[in-house]
Every structure is written in structure tokens, then in C-alpha cells.
Amino acid sequence: MHKIHHLVDGQPMVGASGRTSPVYNPATGEQTGELDLADVGEVDAIVASARKAFEEWKNLSVAKRTRLMFRFRELVDSNANEIAQRLTAEHGKVTSDSMGEVARAIENIEYACGLAEHLKGGYNENASTGVDVYTVQRPLGVVAGITPFNFPAMVPLWMIPNAVACGNTFVLKPSEKDPSAPMFIAELFQEAGFPPGVLNVVHGDKVAVDRLLEHPDVKAVSFVGSTPIAKYVHQTASANGKRVQALAGAKNHMVVLPDADLDMAADAAVSAAYGSAGERCMAISVAVAVGGIGDELVDAVRVRMDKLSIGSGTDPASEMGPLVTREHRDKVARYIGIGADEGATVVVDGRDTRFEGDGFFIGTTLIDNVTTDMTVYRDEIFGPVLCVVRADTYQEAVDLISANPWGNGTAIFTRDGGAARQFQEDADAGMVGINVPVPVPVGYHSFGGWKDSLFGDTTIYGPEGFRFYTRPKVITSRWPDPAESTVNLGFPQNN
Ligand code: NAD
């Protein structure tokens, strides 16, 4: 059994709390690892290491920090296959999804490589006569990142490169479900030459998270996970005086107008609803069929579902893998039953698909005639379940999105430029796709939803990441007139 320990000062630290958590291969159901869970004293030791490292790291030159970041980028890129293997082994997603995750993660390191440009302050000469005013961006100190199971490589890299580029040191608390990929990335970070303590990893559950949220030396918290925990993290860390960004759950709607390219829309619905087994915060979980397009859309999606190959993520033929845990698979199965009981039409029932072995598999599900009062519409299912809601008009579709408590991403499918432009304005969500079902911004924009999908003031990575991980210092300076100097400096007035 693979033992997974904390990483402190660049070295593994064996857990001393006596508490551990099992790690599984979701494709086989086997336990493959055992993860240390930290107690309060261990969290304190790990934060102390980051606090110590901060004193030197904050003053390392921009040139040296940039070179380290480039080296890290090269190491992550050249080890992409190994990272992807670890993702598939513990998360279950298929290898192509894992490779995609690594590619999106690298974008964020590349953005941080431009730290010299991003950390340029502002300068006003002669703001008042002889007075100059300038702003510099200073780091915060130790910052913590608490990350979810569904993107164990990418989400930590939404945070770490930007945070350390700004001169902070970082404590990562990855998901306990799939910790091996982030551990390997942390090892690559050491190999790149970053000083020990600039990035530490602590494994744990609520005990570790609570300590990070109250620790006086943790100055900021980046959280990504479910809405109830995001709310809790935001409230607790804010009450303890920390800067917080807490990205949360979602229920993303894809609006299909009657003039949409049906093949394009159906392909998009299938890949966005069932890709990574629906375990993506930007997954499409509701298709809103406007006007008369509902029956055709449901048929086109169903035909494609029949062809989808579900199996172990390591099999190159698989397009969808298992869910992350047995409990989660069973929860998704329960939701399908609730949908049927509440009167929706279960067109394809994922519970009917049979799989060999003990893996945490479930088939894909399509539920039609869903209404907004149903549990399958109101709850985030976070599995391979697509609900179809029928709407008579564009306005009805937009109103659904506005009334939904979440506002992460949304998309519209249409051939009409005017309608698309109107939707871009009307959509009550932080990220909008136009004929793009999963509009995750590139690394040089920033990511984040609205409403119950984000608690805090800044979105994550890109320019907002640099803003979150720095605080401005504004200097106002005035110097005596050199012409009035008691030393003759050769100015005309001196002579
Ligand atoms: P989760 O909220 O269960 O866990 C996230 C992190 O919080 C983990 O590190 C976990 O150990 C910790 N945690 C869990 N329970 C806790 C508690 N009671 N107290 C303190 N810490 C706790 O989320 P998950 O199941 O790992 O991830 C899936 C969720 O994340 C979904 O809701 C998904 O929509 C969301 N998500 C959102 C985004 C986004 O950018 N908005 C991105 C990815 C995932």
C-alpha cells in the first residue's frame, strides 16, 4: 500500500496524528493508498516552515523568481504523462481528460512566468510640484490553498504559481481523495530549485482546514470546492481577518435556440455533460431547449450516448471513466431514482448499465421534462446526468438562469449573432460560452462564477490572481530642490 505523507521544507514528513484516510483506484474499487491526516500541531509546524521561508523568498529578485518559474514549467510539461497517470489512477478520469487537465494547468505556470510584467506598479511623476507618487505590489505572507477532488493537478496550479510569483509562500491542502498528483507536482516544484518551505503540502480533513482558517500566520485562503464548504470557509477565514476567495458549486445551463446547429449542440451537450463523468464545476447539467427543438435535441443526445464508451480511464478506448468514490456513485444513482419519482422522464437510466468488477461505475443518464421544483434540478448532482428543461421562449430560458442560485458558467447555442450578443449581456453568470459549452477562461483571463458559485471579492488566476495575492503600497516622495543644495552640484542656480 502506497503511503502518502506531508511535504515540509522540501522533505516528506510522516504523519504523527495516527489518523489516516484511504485512497482508491475508482476503476477497480481497490484501496491503493493510505494518506496521513494532520492534527493541529502538524499544521502549525507546516505553517511555521512557510513563515520562515517567506522572509527570504519575498525579497528574491524578480529575475531569479522568473527563472525558477520557467524551470518549473518545463518540468511539469516534460512529466505530463506521469502526472496524468496519477490523475487517472486516483480520480478515474480517462487519460485524454487527464492530459487536458495538465495542459490547462501549465497555462497558469506560463502566466506566472510573466511575473515581471504583472508586478509592475504605477508611477506618477510630479503629482504635485516636485512630488512623485508610486505604487508597488507587496506579497501577503503565507497563503493557504484548499482544493477539491475533481481537478487535483489543475486547481492547485490555479493558485500556487501566481501566489509564489508574487513573493508569498504557500501551504496546499489537497483533496484527500486523490492526493498523489499534487504531491508529485510539489516534488517537481522542489526539483525546479525553489527554496524549501516556499511550497508545503499538508494532508487532512476538517481538522487541518479549520486550523488553516484560524492560524494567525495564514494571511489569505484560496478555496475551491462545494458551496456549503465554500460558504463556511469564506465566513470563518473572513472572521479571522484573512483575505478569502472561495469558489463553489454550480448548476450550469446550456440554452439551445431553435435555430442552433443541432449536431453541434448535441455533440457539445454530450461532451460537456458526461466528460470526466460530469465531475466538473463547468459541466453542463441542464439543457434548456427553447421552442420546438426539445424532441430533436433529446433524440440527438440519446443517439450519441449509445456510442459513448465507458470503462477504465487507462483504456485508450474509454471516453468516460468511473466516479471518484463508491459513496458518490451511489448518491448519483439515488438522484436518478428521485427524478423518476418526482415525475420527470428518465430517457436513459445510467443505473441500467452493467459493469464488470468493483469499480465505481455508472452509465450516463438523460432526464427529460424536468421542472424547476424538482430535486434533480435544484441540487448539484456532480455526476453524468443531463436534465432537459423545456422553455417556450428565449426570455423564459434567461429567466431560469437568473432565478438559479448558482452562476458559474452558462452557454448558448444559436446561429443568430444578435441573439448570442443579447445572451452575453443577459446571462446571470460569471463565464459565458457562445457555441462553446464549457467556457473555462484561458490562463491570462481569470476564472470565477457569480452568486452561490463564488464567495469573496476576486475571481481566481490570471490578473485577478495577482491582485488577490498582493497588497499595494503607495509611496509619496518629495526631494529638496538640488538648485538650493548647500553643496555646489553644478546646477545653473548654484552659480
Ligand atoms: P468539497 O467541498 O467536499 O471539498 C473541497 C475541499 O474542502 C477538500 O480539500 C476537502 O478536504 C475540504 N473539506 C471537505 N469538507 C470539509 C469540512 N466540513 N470542513 C472543512 N474542509 C472540508 O468538494 P469536492 O467534493 O472535493 O469537490 C467537488 C465540488 O467542488 C463541487 O461542488 C464542484 O462544483 C466544486 N468545484 C468548484 C469549482 C469552481 O471553480 N467553482 C471548481 C472545481 C470544483
What CATH code is carried by the domain that includes residue 286?
3.40.309.10
φ/ψ of 57, rounded to 5, equals -60, -40
User: Whole domain around residue 472: which residue ranges?
Assistant: 2-248+453-476
Residue 143 lies in a domain: yes
408 CB under 6 A from ligand 1? yes
38 CB under 6 A from ligand 1? no
pLDDT for the residue 493: 65
Residue 488 lies in a domain: no
Residue 46 lies in a domain: yes
Residue 443 lies in a domain: no
> Rg for the chain (alpha carbons), in Å?
25
Residue 439 lies in a domain: no
Residue 160 and residue 104 share a domain: yes
Residue 285 and residue 192 share a domain: no
226 CB under 6 A from ligand 1? yes
Residue 485 lies in a domain: no
453 CB under 6 A from ligand 1? yes
Residue 371 and residue 233 share a domain: no
Contact 141/166 with Cβ under 8 angstroms? Answer: no
161 CB under 6 A from ligand 1? no
Residue 133 and residue 169 share a domain: yes
Q: Which atom in ligand 1 lies closest to the alpha carbon of residue 151? A: 43
Cα of 444 vs centre of ligand 1, distance in Å, is: 24
Q: Which atom in ligand 1 lies closest to the alpha carbon of residue 454? A: 41
**Which CATH number do you get for residue 240?**
3.40.605.10
Cα of 146 vs centre of ligand 1, distance in Å, is: 8
Reported as type and span, the H/E element at residue 348 is: strand 345-348
Using a cut of 0.95, tell me whether the model's pTM lies above it.
yes
Residue 260 and residue 143 share a domain: no
Contacts of 378 (CB under 8 A, 6+ apart): 372
290 CB under 6 A from ligand 1? no
Residue 370 and residue 240 share a domain: no
Residue 204 and residue 128 share a domain: yes
449 CB under 6 A from ligand 1? yes
Amino acid identity of 49? S
Residue 329 and residue 184 share a domain: no
Residue 119 and residue 138 share a domain: yes
Cα of 135 vs centre of ligand 1, distance in Å, is: 36
State the total domains in the chain: 2
Cell numbers 508610486: residue:
134
Which sequence positions are flagged as catalytic?
Answer: 281
Residue 99 and residue 162 share a domain: yes
pLDDT for the residue 492: 75
pLDDT for the residue 401: 98
206 CB under 6 A from ligand 1? yes
CA-CA distances (angstroms) from residue 4 to 177, 181, 391, 446? 12, 11, 50, 32
Cα of 230 vs centre of ligand 1, distance in Å, is: 7
Pick from 475, 218, 270: nearest CA to 385? 270
Amino acid identity of 173? K
Mean pLDDT by 10 residues, the chain (495 residues): 96 97 98 98 98 98 98 98 98 98 98 97 96 97 98 98 98 98 98 98 98 98 98 98 98 98 98 98 98 97 98 98 98 98 98 97 98 98 98 98 98 98 98 98 98 97 98 96 85 67
Report the b/e string of 194-231 with b at 16+ CB within 10 A. beebbbbbbbbeeebbbbbbbbeebbbbbbbbebebbe
431 CB under 6 A from ligand 1? no
Residue 350 and residue 462 share a domain: no
- Pocket mutation for ligand 1, best pick of 151, 209, 468 (most atoms within 8 Å of C-beta): 209
Q: Which atom in ligand 1 lies closest to the alpha carbon of residue 249? A: 34
Q: Which atom in ligand 1 lies closest to the alpha carbon of residue 204? A: 11
pLDDT for the residue 442: 97
Residue 430 lies in a domain: yes
Nearest residue by C-alpha to atom 32 in ligand 1: 226
- Pocket mutation for ligand 1, best pick of 108, 201, 229 (most atoms within 8 Å of C-beta): 229
pLDDT for the residue 489: 84
- Pocket mutation for ligand 1, best pick of 37, 104, 149 (most atoms within 8 Å of C-beta): 149
Contact 301/470 with Cβ under 8 angstroms? Answer: no
Residue 105 and residue 156 share a domain: yes
Cα of 226 vs centre of ligand 1, distance in Å, is: 4
Contact 97/181 with Cβ under 8 angstroms? Answer: no
pLDDT for the residue 494: 59
Residue 445 lies in a domain: no
The alpha helices in 136-255, defined as continuous H runs, are 154-165, 180-191, 206-214, 227-239
Q: How far apart are CA 43 and CA 202, in angstroms?
A: 7
- Pocket mutation for ligand 1, best pick of 281, 286, 379 (most atoms within 8 Å of C-beta): 281
Supply the DSSP symbol for 8. E
